[in-house]
Amino acid sequence: MKPGTIITSTQNPKVKSLMQLEKPRERRKQQLFLIEGAREVRLALEAGYKIGNIFYCEEIVAKKELGFDLTDNKLVIPVSREVFQKIAVREDSGGVLAVAEMKPHGLSQIRLSKNPLVLILEAVEKPGNLGAILRTADAAGVDAVIICDPQTDFYNPNVIRSSVGCVFTTQIAAATSDETIKWLNQHNISIYCTYLAASKVYHQVDYKQASAIVLGTESIGLSDIWVKNATANIIIPMHGKIDSMNVSNAAAVVVFEALRQRAS
């Protein structure tokens, strides 16, 4: 295929290869993932991600509206509107879809500030929840988000979508709960676990020093290893008929209480 030739068939090998990356197993195998949307691609570029092919539909968006320069990328592949609508996972991708290389996300990659605030999620399952929490982490400027024993991968298209690109703006890592607890202790970071059976209300603890806020799943909460290793187990009081709130909302409540304390 000559450079600049518009792909009009979904049977094109490049298109078929790209669509394979919608499968988690294929993403892991190739260590590649998809980024939809000009803003998300721009944030990934700013975060140092290596971008490969960029599939672009000029019928949908003008190049001057992208916020980054496609002319510098020799791997730009123009596609028709019909092809783009087929390869896009979401409806509002804005005419741009890129293939990018995954980064390593171990605890050793995290760089902490002098007085870190870390957000930890255990066994998060829903991509939408993870994406929403990453938006909270970005808004609050937390040092890192650590996912322990993850049930979904960072590069799920729905995580990138629901995080509006914040998966690229915040340090993220994956590790076991045991590894993470040891890492927190090594860095003298206090551990505050949200726990339904706790007696200490979330705003009664001191987050002014190095702190980690830990949340579990809505269905079963945190595992015993976290409850037993916590500096304090905390609770967000519920005044309705339901005894818990969405995990992304709970994260926002506690994280912004920590910021309030640190600003006072």
> pTM of this prediction?
0.89
Q: How far is CA 152 from the centre of its chain?
A: 10
Strands 96-101 and 32-36 come out as antiparallel
Ordered by where they begin, the domains of the chain are 13-101 (3.30.1330.30), 107-263 (3.40.1280.10)
Angstrom CA distances, 217 to 25, 92, 126, 228, 233, stand at 24, 29, 9, 17, 15
Q: What is the per-residue pLDDT across 152-179, written as a single tens digit (0 to 9) for each? A: 788 998 899 899 999 999 999 999 999 9
Q: Please report the pLDDT score of residue 71 as a whole number.
A: 63
What average pLDDT values come out for the chain (264 residues) when binned by 10 residues?
Answer: 76 91 92 92 92 88 70 78 89 86 95 97 88 95 93 86 93 96 98 90 97 87 92 92 83 97 92
Strands 96-101 and 51-56 come out as antiparallel
Q: Please report the pLDDT score of residue 64 as a whole number.
A: 66
Alpha helices, DSSP H, located in 93-199 = 127-140, 157-162, 177-186
Question: 192 forms bridges with which residues in the sheet?
Answer: 213, 232
